[in-house]
Structure 1
Protein backbone atom coordinates (compact mmCIF):
# COMPACT_ATOMS: atom_id res chain seq x y z
CA UNK A 1 0.00 0.00 0.00
CA UNK A 2 1.29 3.45 -0.92
CA UNK A 3 2.08 5.59 2.09
CA UNK A 4 0.68 9.15 2.25
CA UNK A 5 3.32 11.69 1.22
CA UNK A 6 4.02 14.72 3.42
CA UNK A 7 6.08 17.69 2.23
CA UNK A 8 7.96 19.70 4.85
CA UNK A 9 10.63 22.39 4.99
CA UNK A 10 13.88 20.47 4.66
CA UNK A 11 16.46 19.17 4.85
CA UNK A 12 16.07 16.58 7.60
CA UNK A 13 16.58 18.06 11.06
CA UNK A 14 14.37 21.16 10.78
CA UNK A 15 11.80 22.17 13.36
CA UNK A 16 9.20 21.53 10.65
CA UNK A 17 10.29 17.90 10.41
CA UNK A 18 9.95 17.67 14.20
CA UNK A 19 6.40 19.03 13.87
CA UNK A 20 5.62 16.46 11.19
CA UNK A 21 6.88 13.66 13.43
CA UNK A 22 4.76 15.02 16.29
CA UNK A 23 1.66 14.74 14.08
CA UNK A 24 2.14 11.31 12.50
CA UNK A 25 3.80 7.95 12.99
CA UNK A 26 6.94 8.20 10.82
CA UNK A 27 6.59 4.55 9.79
CA UNK A 28 3.20 5.32 8.24
CA UNK A 29 4.14 8.24 5.97
CA UNK A 30 6.69 9.21 3.34
CA UNK A 31 8.37 12.48 4.30
CA UNK A 32 9.37 14.66 1.34
CA UNK A 33 11.74 17.59 2.08
CA UNK A 34 11.04 20.85 0.25
CA UNK A 35 13.29 23.85 -0.18
CA UNK A 36 10.70 26.34 1.11
CA UNK A 37 7.08 26.79 2.16
CA UNK A 38 5.95 27.81 -1.34
CA UNK A 39 7.36 24.61 -2.83
CA UNK A 40 5.79 22.45 -0.12
CA UNK A 41 2.33 23.94 -0.63
CA UNK A 42 2.66 23.88 -4.42
CA UNK A 43 3.39 20.15 -4.19
CA UNK A 44 0.02 19.66 -2.45
CA UNK A 45 -1.81 21.76 -5.04
CA UNK A 46 -0.17 19.86 -7.88
CA UNK A 47 -0.96 16.47 -6.37
CA UNK A 48 2.72 15.51 -5.99
CA UNK A 49 2.18 14.98 -2.25
CA UNK A 50 -0.90 14.41 -0.13
CA UNK A 51 -0.15 16.91 2.62
CA UNK A 52 2.32 19.55 3.73
CA UNK A 53 3.39 20.57 7.21
CA UNK A 54 4.40 24.24 7.41
CA UNK A 55 4.99 26.87 10.07
CA UNK A 56 2.18 29.43 10.26
CA UNK A 57 2.88 31.49 13.40
CA UNK A 58 5.49 32.03 16.09
CA UNK A 59 5.45 33.85 19.37
CA UNK A 60 8.23 36.27 18.37
CA UNK A 61 7.47 37.37 14.79
CA UNK A 62 3.75 36.52 14.63
CA UNK A 63 2.36 35.09 11.39
CA UNK A 64 4.68 33.43 8.87
CA UNK A 65 3.82 35.59 5.88
CA UNK A 66 4.99 33.09 3.25
CA UNK A 67 2.49 30.56 4.60
CA UNK A 68 -0.38 33.02 5.08
CA UNK A 69 -0.05 34.51 1.60
CA UNK A 70 0.43 31.17 -0.18
CA UNK A 71 -2.62 29.65 1.51
CA UNK A 72 -4.71 32.70 0.58
CA UNK A 73 -4.03 32.61 -3.17
CA UNK A 74 -4.26 29.85 -5.74
CA UNK A 75 -6.16 26.56 -5.86
CA UNK A 76 -8.01 25.88 -2.58
CA UNK A 77 -6.16 24.33 0.35
CA UNK A 78 -7.37 23.66 3.89
CA UNK A 79 -5.76 23.25 7.28
CA UNK A 80 -6.45 19.83 8.80
CA UNK A 81 -4.60 20.03 12.11
CA UNK A 82 -1.97 21.89 14.09
CA UNK A 83 0.79 21.39 16.63
CA UNK A 84 2.78 23.89 18.71
CA UNK A 85 6.44 23.21 19.49
CA UNK A 86 8.85 25.06 21.78
CA UNK A 87 11.75 26.55 19.83
CA UNK A 88 15.31 27.28 20.92
CA UNK A 89 18.59 26.97 19.06
CA UNK A 90 22.19 25.93 19.36
CA UNK A 91 24.96 28.09 17.94
CA UNK A 92 27.13 25.61 16.04
CA UNK A 93 30.43 25.88 14.21
CA UNK A 94 33.12 23.72 12.68
CA UNK A 95 35.54 22.11 15.20
CA UNK A 96 38.21 24.51 16.38
CA UNK A 97 36.09 27.64 15.93
CA UNK A 98 35.83 29.88 18.99
CA UNK A 99 32.83 32.13 19.53
CA UNK A 100 35.23 35.09 19.27
CA UNK A 101 36.04 34.00 15.70
CA UNK A 102 32.44 34.33 14.52
CA UNK A 103 31.86 37.30 12.21
CA UNK A 104 28.77 35.94 10.40
CA UNK A 105 25.90 33.65 11.47
CA UNK A 106 23.53 31.82 9.12
CA UNK A 107 19.94 30.73 9.80
CA UNK A 108 16.42 30.97 8.43
CA UNK A 109 15.10 34.53 8.63
CA UNK A 110 12.64 33.58 11.38
CA UNK A 111 15.41 31.90 13.36
CA UNK A 112 17.52 35.05 13.14
CA UNK A 113 14.54 37.13 14.25
CA UNK A 114 13.88 34.86 17.24
CA UNK A 115 17.50 35.31 18.41
CA UNK A 116 18.04 38.95 17.44
CA UNK A 117 18.76 40.28 20.95
CA UNK A 118 20.93 37.27 21.93
CA UNK A 119 23.05 37.72 18.80
CA UNK A 120 23.39 41.47 19.37
CA UNK A 121 24.55 40.83 22.93
CA UNK A 122 26.87 37.87 22.36
CA UNK A 123 28.02 38.53 18.79
CA UNK A 124 27.81 42.30 18.29
CA UNK A 125 28.60 43.28 14.73
CA UNK A 126 28.23 39.77 13.33
CA UNK A 127 26.57 39.64 9.91
CA UNK A 128 23.27 37.72 9.68
CA UNK A 129 23.11 35.43 6.64
CA UNK A 130 19.65 34.20 5.59
CA UNK A 131 19.29 30.51 4.66
CA UNK A 132 16.39 28.45 3.32
CA UNK A 133 16.16 26.72 6.71
CA UNK A 134 18.12 26.46 9.95
CA UNK A 135 19.02 22.85 9.12
CA UNK A 136 20.22 23.89 5.66
CA UNK A 137 22.50 26.52 7.23
CA UNK A 138 24.04 23.94 9.56
CA UNK A 139 24.40 21.45 6.72
CA UNK A 140 26.17 23.95 4.50
CA UNK A 141 28.50 24.84 7.36
CA UNK A 142 29.37 21.17 7.91
CA UNK A 143 30.08 20.79 4.18
CA UNK A 144 32.63 23.63 4.28
CA UNK A 145 30.59 26.60 3.12
CA UNK A 146 32.32 29.96 3.35
CA UNK A 147 30.77 33.31 4.15
CA UNK A 148 29.77 32.44 7.71
CA UNK A 149 31.51 30.73 10.62
CA UNK A 150 28.46 29.67 12.65
CA UNK A 151 24.82 28.73 12.28
CA UNK A 152 21.71 28.60 14.43
CA UNK A 153 20.56 24.97 14.45
CA UNK A 154 17.82 22.92 16.10
CA UNK A 155 19.14 21.17 19.23
CA UNK A 156 21.11 18.02 18.46
CA UNK A 157 21.54 18.65 14.73
CA UNK A 158 25.03 20.13 15.02
CA UNK A 159 26.37 17.06 16.82
CA UNK A 160 24.88 14.78 14.14
CA UNK A 161 26.67 16.83 11.48
CA UNK A 162 30.02 16.80 13.29
CA UNK A 163 29.82 20.44 14.37
CA UNK A 164 30.68 21.86 17.78
CA UNK A 165 28.11 23.59 19.97
CA UNK A 166 29.34 27.05 20.92
CA UNK A 167 26.18 27.93 22.89
CA UNK A 168 22.98 26.09 23.78
CA UNK A 169 19.51 27.42 24.60
CA UNK A 170 19.91 30.36 22.22
CA UNK A 171 16.70 32.42 22.17
CA UNK A 172 15.44 35.87 23.06
CA UNK A 173 12.36 34.38 24.71
CA UNK A 174 12.73 31.26 26.85
CA UNK A 175 9.09 30.43 26.14
CA UNK A 176 9.26 30.91 22.35
CA UNK A 177 7.10 28.50 20.36
CA UNK A 178 6.08 27.98 16.76
CA UNK A 179 2.72 26.77 15.49
CA UNK A 180 2.75 24.34 12.57
CA UNK A 181 -0.22 23.23 10.48
CA UNK A 182 -1.01 20.20 8.35
CA UNK A 183 -2.37 21.33 4.98
CA UNK A 184 -4.22 19.29 2.35
CA UNK A 185 -6.64 19.65 -0.53
CA UNK A 186 -10.29 20.35 0.35
CA UNK A 187 -12.20 17.41 1.79
CA UNK A 188 -15.13 16.86 4.15
CA UNK A 189 -14.55 18.86 7.32
CA UNK A 190 -13.75 16.66 10.34
CA UNK A 191 -16.36 16.53 13.09
CA UNK A 192 -16.13 19.18 15.81
CA UNK A 193 -14.29 18.27 19.01
CA UNK A 194 -15.46 21.19 21.17
CA UNK A 195 -11.93 22.60 21.06
CA UNK A 196 -11.60 23.75 17.47
CA UNK A 197 -10.28 26.58 15.35
CA UNK A 198 -11.45 27.97 12.00
CA UNK A 199 -9.07 29.85 9.70
CA UNK A 200 -10.30 32.39 7.14
CA UNK A 201 -9.14 35.12 4.80
CA UNK A 202 -11.53 38.07 4.38
CA UNK A 203 -11.38 41.02 1.98
CA UNK A 204 -13.32 44.09 3.08
CA UNK A 205 -15.86 45.51 0.61
CA UNK A 206 -14.18 48.90 0.49
CA UNK A 207 -11.58 51.07 2.19
CA UNK A 208 -13.59 53.31 4.52
CA UNK A 209 -13.97 54.12 8.18
CA UNK A 210 -15.90 51.41 10.00
CA UNK A 211 -15.49 48.64 7.39
CA UNK A 212 -13.23 46.56 9.63
CA UNK A 213 -15.55 47.06 12.60
CA UNK A 214 -18.52 45.86 10.57
CA UNK A 215 -16.60 42.72 9.59
CA UNK A 216 -15.60 42.03 13.19
CA UNK A 217 -19.19 42.50 14.35
CA UNK A 218 -20.15 39.39 12.35
CA UNK A 219 -18.12 37.41 14.90
CA UNK A 220 -18.89 39.46 18.00
CA UNK A 221 -22.66 39.38 17.53
CA UNK A 222 -22.56 35.58 17.54
CA UNK A 223 -20.11 35.12 20.39
CA UNK A 224 -17.20 33.93 18.23
CA UNK A 225 -13.81 34.83 19.70
CA UNK A 226 -10.82 35.56 17.44
CA UNK A 227 -7.46 34.17 18.55
CA UNK A 228 -5.53 35.82 15.69
CA UNK A 229 -6.17 38.55 13.13
CA UNK A 230 -3.48 39.93 10.83
CA UNK A 231 -3.63 42.33 7.91
CA UNK A 232 -1.93 41.35 4.66
CA UNK A 233 -1.45 43.62 1.63
CA UNK A 234 -3.69 42.87 -1.35
CA UNK A 235 -1.72 42.30 -4.55
CA UNK A 236 -4.69 43.36 -6.69
CA UNK A 237 -5.37 46.65 -4.85
CA UNK A 238 -2.21 48.43 -3.61
CA UNK A 239 -2.72 50.25 -0.33
CA UNK A 240 -5.59 47.96 0.71
CA UNK A 241 -5.46 44.89 2.90
CA UNK A 242 -7.09 41.54 3.48
CA UNK A 243 -7.33 39.90 6.90
CA UNK A 244 -6.08 36.48 7.94
CA UNK A 245 -8.16 35.24 10.87
CA UNK A 246 -8.24 32.36 13.35
CA UNK A 247 -11.64 32.08 15.04
CA UNK A 248 -12.35 29.76 17.94
CA UNK A 249 -15.06 27.33 16.92
CA UNK A 250 -16.08 24.92 14.15
CA UNK A 251 -18.10 25.45 10.98
CA UNK A 252 -20.58 22.79 12.19
CA UNK A 253 -21.45 24.98 15.19
CA UNK A 254 -24.41 27.30 14.45
CA UNK A 255 -22.66 30.39 15.84
CA UNK A 256 -19.67 29.87 13.51
CA UNK A 257 -21.83 28.93 10.51
CA UNK A 258 -23.96 32.05 10.94
CA UNK A 259 -20.85 34.21 11.30
CA UNK A 260 -19.57 32.77 8.01
CA UNK A 261 -22.90 33.47 6.33
CA UNK A 262 -22.77 37.04 7.60
CA UNK A 263 -19.26 37.47 6.23
CA UNK A 264 -20.30 36.01 2.90
CA UNK A 265 -23.21 38.43 2.62
CA UNK A 266 -21.19 41.54 3.44
CA UNK A 267 -17.66 40.97 2.06
CA UNK A 268 -16.56 40.32 -1.54
CA UNK A 269 -14.08 37.52 -0.72
CA UNK A 270 -14.24 35.03 2.14
CA UNK A 271 -11.77 32.16 1.85
CA UNK A 272 -12.40 29.20 4.15
CA UNK A 273 -9.12 27.53 5.16
CA UNK A 274 -10.53 24.83 7.39
CA UNK A 275 -12.02 23.93 10.76
CA UNK A 276 -9.73 21.65 12.75
CA UNK A 277 -8.83 20.66 16.33
CA UNK A 278 -6.91 23.37 18.21
CA UNK A 279 -3.51 22.32 19.54
CA UNK A 280 -4.33 23.47 23.07
CA UNK A 281 -7.21 21.02 23.44
CA UNK A 282 -8.96 23.54 25.70
CA UNK A 283 -12.76 23.55 25.24
CA UNK A 284 -13.93 26.70 23.49
CA UNK A 285 -15.75 29.02 25.93
CA UNK A 286 -19.35 29.58 24.84
CA UNK A 287 -20.88 33.01 25.41
CA UNK A 288 -24.37 32.76 26.99
CA UNK A 289 -27.02 32.75 24.28
CA UNK A 290 -24.73 31.38 21.54
CA UNK A 291 -24.71 27.63 22.16
CA UNK A 292 -26.12 25.18 19.60
CA UNK A 293 -29.15 24.72 21.86
CA UNK A 294 -29.72 28.48 22.01
CA UNK A 295 -29.71 28.76 18.21
CA UNK A 296 -32.00 25.73 17.89
CA UNK A 297 -34.49 27.16 20.38
CA UNK A 298 -34.45 30.55 18.64
CA UNK A 299 -35.10 28.96 15.22
CA UNK A 300 -37.98 26.92 16.69
CA UNK A 301 -39.43 30.10 18.21
CA UNK A 302 -39.32 31.94 14.86
CA UNK A 303 -40.90 28.96 13.11
CA UNK A 304 -43.63 28.96 15.73
CA UNK A 305 -44.31 32.64 15.06
CA UNK A 306 -44.65 31.87 11.34
CA UNK A 307 -47.15 29.16 12.19
CA UNK A 308 -49.23 31.42 14.40
CA UNK A 309 -47.93 30.11 17.73
CA UNK A 310 -46.98 33.00 20.04
Structure 2
Protein backbone atom coordinates (compact mmCIF):
# COMPACT_ATOMS: atom_id res chain seq x y z
CA UNK A 1 0.00 0.00 0.00
CA UNK A 2 1.21 3.53 -0.83
CA UNK A 3 0.16 6.25 1.63
CA UNK A 4 0.49 9.97 1.01
CA UNK A 5 1.32 12.29 3.90
CA UNK A 6 3.07 15.51 4.86
CA UNK A 7 6.83 15.54 4.48
CA UNK A 8 9.73 15.49 4.54
CA UNK A 9 10.60 12.56 6.80
CA UNK A 10 10.23 13.13 10.52
CA UNK A 11 6.80 14.81 10.65
CA UNK A 12 4.09 13.88 13.10
CA UNK A 13 2.11 12.94 10.00
CA UNK A 14 4.68 10.24 9.26
CA UNK A 15 4.29 9.05 12.84
CA UNK A 16 0.52 8.82 12.27
CA UNK A 17 1.11 6.70 9.15
CA UNK A 18 3.41 4.35 11.07
CA UNK A 19 0.78 3.94 13.78
CA UNK A 20 -1.79 3.16 11.10
CA UNK A 21 0.33 0.82 8.95
CA UNK A 22 4.01 0.38 9.76
CA UNK A 23 4.63 -1.60 6.57
CA UNK A 24 3.20 0.91 4.07
CA UNK A 25 5.28 2.74 1.47
CA UNK A 26 5.14 6.51 1.95
CA UNK A 27 5.02 9.38 -0.51
CA UNK A 28 5.69 12.78 1.02
CA UNK A 29 4.04 16.04 -0.04
CA UNK A 30 4.61 19.67 0.87
CA UNK A 31 1.20 20.46 2.33
CA UNK A 32 -2.29 19.12 3.08
CA UNK A 33 -3.67 20.27 -0.28
CA UNK A 34 -1.04 18.35 -2.25
CA UNK A 35 -1.45 15.29 -0.02
CA UNK A 36 -5.19 15.14 -0.69
CA UNK A 37 -4.71 15.97 -4.37
CA UNK A 38 -2.36 13.00 -4.69
CA UNK A 39 -5.25 10.72 -3.73
CA UNK A 40 -7.58 12.41 -6.21
CA UNK A 41 -4.95 11.89 -8.93
CA UNK A 42 -4.59 8.23 -7.85
CA UNK A 43 -0.90 8.60 -7.05
CA UNK A 44 -1.48 6.92 -3.68
CA UNK A 45 -3.89 4.33 -2.25
CA UNK A 46 -4.86 6.60 0.63
CA UNK A 47 -3.74 9.80 2.34
CA UNK A 48 -3.36 10.62 6.03
CA UNK A 49 -3.76 14.26 7.08
CA UNK A 50 -4.34 16.10 10.38
CA UNK A 51 -7.88 17.25 11.12
CA UNK A 52 -7.78 18.56 14.69
CA UNK A 53 -5.48 19.27 17.62
CA UNK A 54 -6.49 19.14 21.27
CA UNK A 55 -4.98 22.61 21.91
CA UNK A 56 -5.57 24.54 18.70
CA UNK A 57 -8.77 22.96 17.39
CA UNK A 58 -9.63 21.95 13.84
CA UNK A 59 -7.39 22.13 10.79
CA UNK A 60 -9.67 24.27 8.64
CA UNK A 61 -8.01 23.39 5.31
CA UNK A 62 -8.75 19.70 5.90
CA UNK A 63 -12.39 20.50 6.71
CA UNK A 64 -12.74 22.61 3.57
CA UNK A 65 -11.24 19.89 1.34
CA UNK A 66 -13.71 17.36 2.75
CA UNK A 67 -16.49 19.69 1.73
CA UNK A 68 -15.12 20.53 -1.72
CA UNK A 69 -14.25 17.03 -2.94
CA UNK A 70 -15.77 13.56 -2.97
CA UNK A 71 -13.54 12.13 -0.26
CA UNK A 72 -14.17 9.19 2.04
CA UNK A 73 -12.85 8.92 5.60
CA UNK A 74 -11.84 5.30 6.20
CA UNK A 75 -10.00 5.59 9.53
CA UNK A 76 -8.50 7.84 12.17
CA UNK A 77 -5.28 7.94 14.18
CA UNK A 78 -4.53 9.92 17.34
CA UNK A 79 -0.89 10.91 17.89
CA UNK A 80 0.54 12.33 21.09
CA UNK A 81 2.49 15.50 20.34
CA UNK A 82 5.70 16.27 22.21
CA UNK A 83 7.21 19.43 20.77
CA UNK A 84 10.94 19.87 21.21
CA UNK A 85 13.27 22.80 20.59
CA UNK A 86 15.98 21.61 18.21
CA UNK A 87 19.16 23.28 16.98
CA UNK A 88 22.76 22.73 15.90
CA UNK A 89 23.83 25.38 18.35
CA UNK A 90 23.02 26.42 21.92
CA UNK A 91 20.20 28.51 23.36
CA UNK A 92 22.26 31.71 23.22
CA UNK A 93 22.93 31.20 19.48
CA UNK A 94 19.26 31.23 18.46
CA UNK A 95 18.08 34.17 16.35
CA UNK A 96 15.27 32.45 14.42
CA UNK A 97 12.68 29.88 15.53
CA UNK A 98 10.87 27.97 12.78
CA UNK A 99 8.03 25.46 12.67
CA UNK A 100 4.64 24.71 11.20
CA UNK A 101 2.00 27.28 12.35
CA UNK A 102 0.27 24.70 14.60
CA UNK A 103 3.31 23.94 16.85
CA UNK A 104 4.18 27.64 16.94
CA UNK A 105 0.69 28.31 18.34
CA UNK A 106 0.92 25.36 20.73
CA UNK A 107 4.18 26.79 22.14
CA UNK A 108 3.13 30.45 22.16
CA UNK A 109 3.73 31.11 25.87
CA UNK A 110 7.01 29.21 25.92
CA UNK A 111 8.38 31.25 23.03
CA UNK A 112 7.18 34.55 24.51
CA UNK A 113 8.67 33.84 27.93
CA UNK A 114 12.04 32.56 26.71
CA UNK A 115 12.81 34.16 23.36
CA UNK A 116 11.88 37.84 23.33
CA UNK A 117 13.27 39.52 20.24
CA UNK A 118 13.84 36.26 18.36
CA UNK A 119 12.35 36.11 14.86
CA UNK A 120 9.52 33.59 14.45
CA UNK A 121 8.99 32.02 11.02
CA UNK A 122 6.24 29.69 9.80
CA UNK A 123 7.21 26.73 7.65
CA UNK A 124 5.40 24.04 5.66
CA UNK A 125 6.13 21.30 8.22
CA UNK A 126 8.00 20.63 11.45
CA UNK A 127 10.48 18.34 9.73
CA UNK A 128 11.21 20.86 6.97
CA UNK A 129 11.96 23.43 9.69
CA UNK A 130 14.31 20.90 11.31
CA UNK A 131 16.02 20.31 7.98
CA UNK A 132 16.64 24.06 7.62
CA UNK A 133 17.87 24.28 11.23
CA UNK A 134 20.51 21.66 10.47
CA UNK A 135 22.23 24.21 8.24
CA UNK A 136 22.70 27.00 10.78
CA UNK A 137 23.37 27.34 14.52
CA UNK A 138 21.27 30.51 14.54
CA UNK A 139 18.08 28.63 13.55
CA UNK A 140 16.05 26.52 15.96
CA UNK A 141 13.11 24.33 14.99
CA UNK A 142 10.14 23.21 17.00
CA UNK A 143 9.70 19.59 15.98
CA UNK A 144 9.77 15.99 17.21
CA UNK A 145 12.50 13.88 18.76
CA UNK A 146 12.49 11.86 15.53
CA UNK A 147 13.39 15.01 13.58
CA UNK A 148 16.33 15.65 15.92
CA UNK A 149 17.76 12.21 15.20
CA UNK A 150 17.04 12.46 11.49
CA UNK A 151 18.71 15.84 10.94
CA UNK A 152 21.48 15.64 13.52
CA UNK A 153 20.12 18.31 15.87
CA UNK A 154 20.49 18.83 19.61
CA UNK A 155 17.36 18.71 21.77
CA UNK A 156 17.69 21.96 23.72
CA UNK A 157 14.34 21.58 25.48
CA UNK A 158 11.51 19.08 25.27
CA UNK A 159 7.75 18.89 25.78
CA UNK A 160 7.61 22.68 25.39
CA UNK A 161 3.96 23.07 24.39
CA UNK A 162 1.94 25.30 26.71
CA UNK A 163 -0.30 22.38 27.77
CA UNK A 164 1.50 19.08 28.31
CA UNK A 165 -1.39 16.85 27.24
CA UNK A 166 -1.28 17.51 23.49
CA UNK A 167 -2.83 15.24 20.86
CA UNK A 168 -3.51 15.53 17.14
CA UNK A 169 -6.19 13.51 15.38
CA UNK A 170 -5.40 12.41 11.83
CA UNK A 171 -7.89 11.00 9.33
CA UNK A 172 -7.26 8.32 6.74
CA UNK A 173 -8.83 9.28 3.41
CA UNK A 174 -9.25 6.29 1.14
CA UNK A 175 -11.55 4.36 -1.15
CA UNK A 176 -12.96 1.29 0.59
CA UNK A 177 -15.52 1.62 3.39
CA UNK A 178 -14.58 -0.46 6.44
CA UNK A 179 -17.10 -2.94 7.83
CA UNK A 180 -18.60 -2.28 11.28
CA UNK A 181 -16.34 -3.17 14.22
CA UNK A 182 -18.62 -2.33 17.14
CA UNK A 183 -16.53 0.75 17.96
CA UNK A 184 -17.14 3.03 15.00
CA UNK A 185 -17.62 6.66 14.14
CA UNK A 186 -19.56 8.30 11.30
CA UNK A 187 -18.70 11.77 9.99
CA UNK A 188 -21.20 13.93 8.12
CA UNK A 189 -21.62 17.48 6.82
CA UNK A 190 -25.00 19.18 7.12
CA UNK A 191 -26.16 22.36 5.35
CA UNK A 192 -29.43 23.76 6.68
CA UNK A 193 -30.00 26.01 3.64
CA UNK A 194 -32.66 28.10 5.42
CA UNK A 195 -31.50 29.54 8.72
CA UNK A 196 -34.88 29.44 10.46
CA UNK A 197 -35.19 29.61 14.27
CA UNK A 198 -34.64 26.20 15.86
CA UNK A 199 -33.41 24.54 12.64
CA UNK A 200 -30.18 23.21 14.12
CA UNK A 201 -31.94 22.24 17.36
CA UNK A 202 -34.44 20.22 15.33
CA UNK A 203 -31.63 18.29 13.64
CA UNK A 204 -29.79 17.62 16.88
CA UNK A 205 -33.07 16.50 18.42
CA UNK A 206 -33.22 13.62 15.94
CA UNK A 207 -29.96 12.28 17.36
CA UNK A 208 -31.10 12.83 20.94
CA UNK A 209 -34.38 10.99 20.44
CA UNK A 210 -32.46 7.90 19.30
CA UNK A 211 -29.77 8.17 22.01
CA UNK A 212 -27.06 8.69 19.38
CA UNK A 213 -23.93 10.19 20.87
CA UNK A 214 -22.38 13.17 19.08
CA UNK A 215 -18.62 13.35 19.60
CA UNK A 216 -18.12 16.60 17.68
CA UNK A 217 -20.06 19.42 16.05
CA UNK A 218 -18.42 22.40 14.38
CA UNK A 219 -19.51 25.10 11.96
CA UNK A 220 -17.58 26.38 8.95
CA UNK A 221 -18.52 29.22 6.58
CA UNK A 222 -19.89 28.14 3.20
CA UNK A 223 -17.86 31.01 1.67
CA UNK A 224 -20.97 32.15 -0.19
CA UNK A 225 -22.34 34.91 2.05
CA UNK A 226 -21.59 36.15 5.56
CA UNK A 227 -23.43 34.15 8.21
CA UNK A 228 -23.99 31.08 6.02
CA UNK A 229 -22.58 27.87 7.54
CA UNK A 230 -22.24 24.13 7.12
CA UNK A 231 -21.95 21.87 10.17
CA UNK A 232 -19.43 19.07 10.57
CA UNK A 233 -20.76 16.37 12.88
CA UNK A 234 -19.14 13.19 14.21
CA UNK A 235 -21.42 10.56 15.71
CA UNK A 236 -20.82 7.25 17.45
CA UNK A 237 -21.91 4.32 15.34
CA UNK A 238 -21.70 2.96 11.79
CA UNK A 239 -23.82 3.91 8.79
CA UNK A 240 -24.87 0.25 8.54
CA UNK A 241 -26.42 0.40 12.03
CA UNK A 242 -30.19 0.51 11.60
CA UNK A 243 -30.68 3.39 14.05
CA UNK A 244 -27.95 5.51 12.42
CA UNK A 245 -29.26 4.83 8.91
CA UNK A 246 -32.87 5.69 9.79
CA UNK A 247 -31.88 8.86 11.65
CA UNK A 248 -29.75 10.14 8.78
CA UNK A 249 -32.63 9.51 6.36
CA UNK A 250 -34.90 11.65 8.55
CA UNK A 251 -32.29 14.41 8.73
CA UNK A 252 -31.74 14.33 4.96
CA UNK A 253 -35.41 15.23 4.39
CA UNK A 254 -35.08 18.31 6.63
CA UNK A 255 -31.85 19.89 5.37
CA UNK A 256 -30.52 21.43 2.17
CA UNK A 257 -27.61 18.98 2.02
CA UNK A 258 -26.40 15.93 3.89
CA UNK A 259 -22.95 14.66 2.94
CA UNK A 260 -21.78 11.40 4.50
CA UNK A 261 -18.00 11.46 4.75
CA UNK A 262 -17.69 7.88 5.94
CA UNK A 263 -17.98 5.33 8.74
CA UNK A 264 -14.76 3.97 10.20
CA UNK A 265 -13.21 2.42 13.33
CA UNK A 266 -12.79 4.97 16.12
CA UNK A 267 -9.23 5.49 17.31
CA UNK A 268 -8.37 3.85 20.61
Same fold at TM > 0.5:
yes
Distance 1:125 1:69 in 2: 35
Q: Give the 3-state SS of the residue equivalent to 2:48 in structure 1.
A: strand
What is the TM-score when the length of structure 1 is the normalising length? 0.82
Deviation (angstroms), 1:113: 1.3
Distance 2:169 2:100 in 1: 16
1:87 matched residue in structure 2 = 81
Q: Give the 3-state SS of the residue equivalent to 2:152 in structure 1.
A: coil
Structure 1 outlier segments of 4+, above 2 Å: 100-104, 124-128, 236-239
- Do structure 1's residue 208 and structure 2's residue 202 form an aligned pair? no
Deviations 1:151-188 (A, max 9, x none): 10111322331222211122111111111111113x3x
1:55 matched residue in structure 2 = 50
2:33 matched residue in structure 1 = 38
Equivalenced residues, count: 268
Aligned runs of 1:123-202 on 2, under 5 Å? 123-144=115-136, 149-185=139-175, 187=176, 189-202=177-190
Q: Give the 3-state SS of the residue equivalent to 1:113 in structure 2.
A: helix
Larger gyration radius, structure 1 or structure 2: 1
**Equivalent residues of 1:205, 1:266 under 8 A apart:** no
CA RMSD of aligned residues (A): 1.6
Report 1 or 2 for greater relative contact order, CA contacts < 8 Å, sequence distance ≥ 6. 2
Which residue of 7, 13, 16 corresponds with 2:13? 16
Gaps of 5+ in 2: none
Change (3 A) 1:258 1:124: farther
1:241 matched residue in structure 2 = 229
1:286 matched residue in structure 2 = none
Pick which of 264-273 and 211-220 moved more.
Answer: 211-220
Q: Give the 3-state SS of the residue equivalent to 2:181 in structure 1.
A: coil
Distance 2:96 2:195 in 1: 44
